């Protein structure tokens, strides 16, 4: 008998729980959750704007770059949520998979932010991380443009820069202390980070949450990559067609927004520690005075 994900029982096929929310989600609960996420986004954005343009060293520079990206991704999460402050209330479009994919991107950015900006390591190790990231960037650009515009005369420049970065890595004590097998693998330029996700999670003080993270990561990835979990039960659950339904409304309210907001708030707290002179509440007040009611929509939702 072929596998049918809509079946409740089968003597031959695995029984996979649907993952549907246990209760119908009220409009009030949904709107409150979107409002909570947006409030956290307003705090993060105010902090990002206050820290912009400062001469604060290379580590804080990359912290600012990645935190800006984090805020931008979080804003995209809000934009994808029906009844958000940006959209007309009659233009609701429900797409839980898009929000899940953006949430995965949010998590990835928070990992990069910790790895490159928050993690307290010595200068030599940090420069090793930076050079490896730059090598990956250079090699990736060489591959992209070699495929898209193979006749571009500037492509060879990427190969030259990549070789310079490999030589630079070989001067780093931290890099040369790594096992030879790892050094060879990193020098290909196919890996952006020295550490695995689980290792970064441990450095973030979340080692005890590795199993829970891995489960959430797998779930988010099924939507980012259109794996079967993302579409197998669409007909059964009435989801995936853009119209409001309890499955997507529930997952957005109970899982995706709380998880994404936790990631956003944790990163905001760490970024604020790099710029302790910034008072987020005062920044929000100042933005409201400068830009009027439009900026104050961070606390207001269209219902």
User: Which tens digits make up the pLDDT trace of 110-160?
Assistant: 999 999 999 999 999 999 999 999 999 999 999 999 999 999 988 999 999
Task: Look at residue 22 and tell me if it is in a domain.
Answer: no
Task: Look at residue 17 and tell me if it is in a domain.
Answer: no
Range of the domain at 61: 27-299
Task: Look at residue 13 and tell me if it is in a domain.
Answer: no
How confident is the model over 71-97, as a mean pLDDT? 88
Q: Which residues, at least 6 apart from 241, have a Cβ–Cβ distance to it below 8 Å?
A: 234
Task: Look at residue 274 and tell me if it is in a domain.
Answer: yes
Task: Look at residue 21 and tell me if it is in a domain.
Answer: no
The closest alpha carbon to 251, from 223, 225, 211, belongs to 223
Task: Look at residue 1 and tell me if it is in a domain.
Answer: no
Percent of all residues in the chain with a pLDDT value above 90, rounded to a whole number:
69
State how many domains the chain has.
1
11-15, 53-57, 201-205: segment of lowest average pLDDT: 11-15
CA distance 44 to 193: 25
Model-level pTM?
0.86
The closest alpha carbon to 302, from 89, 75, 30, belongs to 89
| Burial label, 66 (beta-carbon count in 10 A; 0-12, 13-18, 19+) | buried
Answer whether residue 303 shows pLDDT above 60: no
Task: Look at residue 191 and tell me if it is in a domain.
Answer: yes
């Amino acid at each position: 008998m072929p596998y049918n994900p809509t079946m409740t029982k089968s003597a031959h096929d695995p029984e996979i729980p649907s993952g549907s929310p246990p209760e119908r989600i009220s409009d009030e609960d949904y709107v409150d959750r979107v409002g909570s996420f947006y409030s956290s986004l307003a705090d993060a954005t105010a902090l990002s704007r206050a820290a912009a343009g400062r001469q604060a060293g290379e580590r804080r520079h990359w912290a600012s770059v990645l935190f800006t990206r984090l805020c931008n991704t979080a804003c995209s999460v809000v934009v994808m949520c029906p009844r958000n402050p940006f959209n007309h209330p009659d233009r609701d479009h429900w797409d839980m998979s898009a929000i899940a994919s953006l949430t995965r991107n949010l998590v990835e950015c928070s990992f990069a932010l910790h790895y490159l900006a928050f993690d307290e390591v010595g200068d030599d190790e940090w420069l090793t991380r930076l050079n490896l990231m730059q090598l990956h960037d250079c090699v990736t650009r060489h591959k992209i443009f070699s495929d898209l515009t193979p006749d571009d005369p500037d492509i060879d420049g990427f190969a030259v820069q990549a070789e310079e970065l490999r030589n630079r890595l070989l001067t780093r004590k931290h890099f040369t202390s790594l096992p030879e097998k790892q050094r060879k693998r990193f020098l290909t330029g196919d890996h952006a980070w020295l550490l695995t996700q689980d290792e970064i999670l441990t450095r973030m003080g979340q080692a005890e949450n590795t199993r829970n993270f891995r489960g959430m990561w797998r779930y988010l990835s099924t939507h980012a990559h259109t794996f079967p979990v993302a579409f197998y039960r669409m007909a059964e659950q009435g989801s995936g067609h853009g119209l409001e339904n309890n499955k997507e409304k529930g997952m957005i309210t109970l899982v995706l927004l709380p998880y994404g907001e936790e990631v956003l708030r944790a990163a905001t707290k760490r970024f604020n520690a790099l710029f302790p002179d910034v008072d987020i509440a005062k920044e929000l007040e100042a933005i409201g005075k400068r830009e009027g009611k439009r900026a104050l929509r961070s606390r207001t939702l269209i219902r």
